[in-house]
Amino acid sequence: MTRDPAALSRTELRRYGRQLLLPEFADSQERLKAAHVLVIGAGGLGCPVISYLAGAGAGFLRIADGDTVSLSNLHRQTLYTTADVGRSKAQAAAARAQQVNPYVGVEAAPALSPETAPALLEGVDLVIDASDNFTARYLVHDACTAAGLPWVWGAAGGFEGMVSVFGPDFGLRDVFATPDGAESCDDIGVVGPLLGVVGSVMALEALKILTGQADVLSGRLWTYDALSARVRIVRLGKTISAGT
């Protein structure tokens, strides 16, 4: 990140007081306030990411999503209410993030595409890939690789989820060369709290990166089986099955 850290007000110091008790955050909150983050996807994974990054004081969130809220989203996409059905997810999520923390700058943006990618990535320090299909995920890989940016990636379906940190020299295409075996939530379903678990891990990895912590999931894949409550960490190499 190239921006100078911004000073914290007294109100912000009180707001972030509990995390400032942590040695890892004590000297990093101003750095976090200076960070610009692009969140791609404001669905089941994007909702906890947006909520926790806003709450933690990430300085600026750009939320990219071209979808609208539907009734079937509400069991897992926790930023939205029944009154939001039919509303732009990006706009609804941005409004909710501002309610969570008015000290965070938030921007609703269109979905990622080859045409929108340059503007979406402009001025960004970190990308969060909370998209729900491999077409979008590969586009994130290509855009972040070209821009030399790191990104946090997550996926979930059924009762299984996974998270990793990519870029700029090793990314999703290096691990999942093809989307063979990947199925969407529309096809196989998903249990709502799973998205909260996976999205929270994504938010944690993002906060660790933004505050300069060394031990992030770069080169490793965190996997979670909600039925057995089993967690595994897998060392990543080239090309494995896409799974969920």
DSSP conformation letters of the chain: --SPPPPPPHHHHHHTHHHHTSHHHHTTHHHHHT-EEEEE--STTHHHHHHHHHHHT-SEEEEE---B--GGGTTT-TT--GGGTTSBHHHHHHHHHHHH-TTSEEEEEPPP-TTTHHHHHTT-SEEEE--SSHHHHHHHHHHHHHHT--EEEEEEEBTEEEEEEE-SSS-HHHH-SS-TT---HHHH-B-HHHHHHHHHHHHHHHHHHHTT-S---BTEEEEEETTTTEEEEEE--S------
pLDDT, tens digit (0-9, with 9 covering 90-100), for 212-235: 998 999 999 999 999 999 999 999
Entry field: residues in the chain: 244
Alpha carbon distance 99, 209 (integer Å): 25
Helix axes 89-100, 46-56, angle to 10 degrees: 30
How high is the mean pLDDT of the chain?
92
Higher pLDDT pick, 178 / 201: 201
Alpha carbon distance 11, 56 (integer Å): 14
- pLDDT-derived band at 203 (thresholds 50, 70, 90) equals very high
Alpha carbon distance 154, 139 (integer Å): 15
* Range of weakest confidence among 53-67, 124-138, 173-187: 173-187
Contact 217, 205 (CB under 8 A): yes
Q: Class for domain 10-235, per CATH? A: alpha beta
Contact 116, 122 (CB under 8 A): no
Q: Residue 244: what pLDDT?
A: 37
- pLDDT-derived band at 163 (thresholds 50, 70, 90) equals very high
Verdict on whether the full-model pTM lies above 0.75: yes
Per-residue pLDDT, averaged over 48-55, amounts to 98
* Range of weakest confidence among 24-28, 72-76, 191-195, 200-204: 24-28
Domain ranges for the chain: 10-235
Q: Residue 214: what pLDDT?
A: 87
Q: Residue 2: what pLDDT?
A: 45
141: pLDDT strictly greater than 80: yes
